[in-house]
Amino acid sequence: MTVYEAEVPGVGHKFELELGDEERLIVIIHHDGKREIYLRPGKNQDSEKLFSLTGKLARQLGSILEGAYFQPVEMDDIQVPLGEAIIEWTDVDPSAPLIGQSLQEATIRERTGVSIMAIQRGEETIANPQPDTTIKANDVLVSLGTRDEQQQFAELVDSGSDGT
Rank residues 8 and 64 by Cβ distance to other proteins and give the closer one. 8
Q: Which stretch binds other proteins (CB under 8 A): 8-16, 86-94, 110-118, 139-147?
A: 8-16
Binding mask 15-34 for other proteins (x = CB under 8 A): -----------x-x--xxx-
| 111 three-state secondary structure | helix
Binding mask 28-67 for other proteins (x = CB under 8 A): x--xxx--x-x-x--xx-xxxx------------------
| 154 three-state secondary structure | helix
Q: Helix H segments across 2-160?
A: 55-66, 103-106, 108-112, 147-159
CB atoms within 10 A of CB 115: 15
Shortest Cβ 13–other proteins spacing (Å): 10
The answer to whether 106 and 73 are in contact (CB under 8 A) is: no
CA–centroid distance for 7 within its chain: 37
> What does the binding site for other proteins look like in residue numbers (CB under 8 A)?
6-11, 14, 26, 28, 31-33, 36, 38, 40, 43-44, 46-49
